[in-house]
Structure 1
Amino acid sequence: MKRPTRQHRVECGADLASQLGHIVAAYAEAAYPPGGSECGQVAREALLDTSRLCLAHDGGELALPKRQLAMLRAAVDWAGEQANPFWSTALQVLVGRKREA
């Protein structure tokens, strides 16, 4: 019997989801470049899948894989350190790093 996928569900507009998608794709390229270890390539593909999910989001409830939350938080933190133009504090709320004020 297949277990249900555990997801972090959050209300999110298309613009914010797109920001997250761009950041996750950039992080995947930087942290897990092509040609790395097999485990690294699996992590890269999982992040790129999540990036595509975010970029295709039309608004409403966004379901992010709970297994990837630590990597998504790392991507948002990394983007803030890199002065990525897509970074915002709203992204920290989206991935559960901060609570809404």
Structure 2
Amino acid sequence: MTCTIFHSTELPEGRGALVKGSLPRKRVRWAVEYLIKTPDGRTLMESTKTIQAATYEELYPIMDAAIDALGNEAGGQATFVSWRATAHGVKKKHRKGGRK
């Protein structure tokens, strides 16, 4: 199970994020990529993993805080912001001994 969420300031209003795959039922760590473009032409890119495991609903406040921190590095102004978060399912416990 893989889930990818893409959010951008250029998406139509009210559309929200593009979600591909099935959302994880449990809390998982997300691999995250940010892209911020500033008015003076600089581009900030960063890839990281979330520190804490989170559900889909909990991911948005985490992303807002991370983008605010990156925005402060960029001078507080941005012409374009996008982020992509990807999660892979947690490992299943094999109850009948071994993998098949």
Is the TM-score greater than 0.5? no
Q: Which has the higher strand share?
A: 2
Higher helix share: 1
Larger Rg: 2
TM-score of the aligned structures, taking structure 2 as reference length: 0.29
Q: TM-score, normalised by structure 1?
A: 0.29
